Amino acid sequence: MRGDTGTEDSVTVMVTRVVAPEREEEFARWAEEADRAAAGCPGHLGAVRLHDGQGLHHLVYRFDSAEHLDAWERSDVRRELVRRGNRISEPRSSRSTDLAPWFTLQERNVPPRWKSFLTTWAAAYPCLLTIATLLKLLFPALPQAAALAVNSLVLTALLTWVIQPRLTRRARSWLLRGARPAGTRGTTSEPRG
């Protein structure tokens, strides 16, 4: 897409930030300040903020040229904002010269499998131990097949509706560290802020 001058292509940068659950309000204030600062820069065409409900916040900024975006990204104001933002969230960003990032969020971030394995095991093991111990104490004559059925039923319910949602929310910064959003057409991912 051409900028207003017709000499440069417009550029969109999308920064995805992983926000710790207890820092959501502080992050919202920080993002407002970042939006206002970007809006005051030459070539700024607009900004959009999106939140996926799982601690991922997408900040999208559009400039009329790569030069104006670069000037914003090199500015002292932005550098200070990034420094403060990094205390309350972890950044990932991508750039594009087409409109795709304005309308298509990158695919959901998926933690590395080893992290998913560790959190599932950390949740399952104590539950299994507790449920098995209680069943043995309360129903010592219960056949093994019935004990396993009750154990697996209670474990699955606890993991699905109680433990995993809370554990995933608490550990999301760690879980998503190292996870990469999938790129969109015309987009390059960079570890920017």
Residues of the chain below pLDDT 70: 1-8, 53, 93-109, 178-193
pLDDT given for residue 101 in this prediction: 46
pLDDT given for residue 105 in this prediction: 47
Reading the block at residue 42, the tokens are: 């030459």
Q: Which amino acid is at 108?
A: R
List the domain boundaries for the chain.
11-109+181-190, 113-176
* Tens-digit pLDDT profile for residues 93-120: 656 565 554 444 445 567 788 988 999 9
pLDDT given for residue 12 in this prediction: 87
Reading the block at residue 68, the tokens are: 């104006």
Nearest to 13 by CA among 145, 101, 140, 103: 101
The SS3 assignment for 118 reads helix
The SS3 assignment for 101 reads helix
CATH topology of domain 11-109+181-190: Alpha-Beta Plaits (3.30.70)
**What is the C-alpha separation between 19 and 171, in angstroms, rounded?**
11
Angstrom CA distances, 48 to 10, 12, 51, 61, stand at 16, 11, 10, 7
**Please, are residues 173 and 90 in contact by the beta-carbon 8 Å criterion?**
yes
pLDDT given for residue 176 in this prediction: 74
Reading the block at residue 62, the tokens are: 């559009």
